[in-house]
Amino acid sequence: MGEIQKIRIGHDNSGFGAAWFLDKVVVTKEKTETKWFFLSGKWFAKDEEDSAIEREIPASNADGVASLPMITYKVLVTTSDRRGAGTDANVLLTLFGSAGDSGERKLESSGNNFERNQTDTFGFDCVDLGELQRIIIRHDNSGIGPGWFLDKVLIESGKGERWFFPCGKWLADDEDDKQISREIIAVKDDSDTYNPLITYKIEVLTGDRSGAGTDANVTIQLFGENGASGYHSLDNSQNNFERNKTDVFGIQVADLGKLEVYVYFL
């Protein structure tokens, strides 16, 4: 055949698990020990990459690396300690590094994942992405109350490298900026991502006037130098807001600093 220029190689997609990842082919002419190298590093599969099960591969006179090595990434996801922080929605993650991206991966295991103040651990194999630079993490907004308060993500590579991705935000269509997807840049050191919760004691004095009391629902929102608390209903087991009576309530929110208080009825 003289100098070999290319090969055409493929399979017939028969049998169970027909998908095939071909690294390379080496053809040797026995008389002269001449070698031709055909570097592939691709899937031959109907459900992978470009769905091809047959490929033409040009010849090379030198051997080489056809496919990048696979490594395991360990992913630790921490849900924050906030009321309603957990989610039952499906959570999806994409890693981006100096050598490419992982594609979107669903984070799932046999446990009850993404509960309040809980760290969940996942793992998957991927081509070595080099130095991780950022992630995109999101959920599909499925289920009842899918809103999720993500504290942070820690990723460890099989080579002992670690990257932190601090969030400290809601992924919810009814909280903050109403986003359910976040792009987070990698940092090398761990840190706090959100202010801890503190309890505010609220004493409400109804005036000593005829008809001063109310049976309406009373709602309070606290505003401070560090932000707002959101809406909280002032309710307990007592008969509240009666004439000339002081009612006491407690709410847990992040430290708001110096307060101005607004109270109104719903």
Same domain, 131 and 176: yes
Is residue 166 one of the residues assigned to a domain? yes
Q: Of 42-56, 117-131, 221-235, where does mean pLDDT reach its minimum?
A: 221-235
Is residue 256 one of the residues assigned to a domain? yes
User: Which pLDDT score is estimated for 191?
Assistant: 80
Residue 123: which H helix or E strand, with range?
Answer: strand 119-127
User: Which CATH number do you get for residue 130?
Assistant: 2.60.60.20
Distance, CA of 233 to chain centre: 31
Is residue 64 one of the residues assigned to a domain? no
Residue 214: which H helix or E strand, with range?
Answer: none
User: Which pLDDT score is estimated for 232?
Assistant: 86
Same domain, 54 and 74: no
Is residue 192 one of the residues assigned to a domain? no
- The pLDDT-based confidence of 254 (bands split at 50, 70, 90) is confident
Is residue 207 one of the residues assigned to a domain? yes
Is the pLDDT score of 68 beyond 80? no
Q: Write out pLDDT tens, residues 79-123.
A: 998 889 999 999 999 999 998 898 899 999 888 999 999 999 999
Calculate mean pLDDT across residues 134-144: 95
pTM of the predicted model, to two decimals? 0.64
Per cent of the chain over pLDDT 70 is: 97
Least Cα distance to 172 among 147, 139, 153, 141 occurs for 147
Domain count, the chain: 3
User: Which pLDDT score is estimated for 263?
Assistant: 62
Is the pLDDT score of 150 beyond 60? yes
Cα separation, 247 vs 239, in Å, equals 9
Same domain, 84 and 175: yes
Calculate mean pLDDT across residues 231-255: 89
Is the pLDDT score of 210 beyond 90? yes
Same domain, 157 and 209: no
Please state, rounded to an integer, the average pLDDT across all residues of the chain.
Answer: 90
Q: Is 148 exposed, middle or buried (0-12, 13-18, 19+ CB in 10 A)?
A: buried
Calculate mean pLDDT across residues 3-19: 94
Calculate mean pLDDT across residues 227-247: 89
Is residue 17 one of the residues assigned to a domain? yes
Q: Write out pLDDT tens, residues 174-209.
A: 887 899 999 999 998 888 777 677 889 999 999 999
Domain span at residue 114 reads 70-185
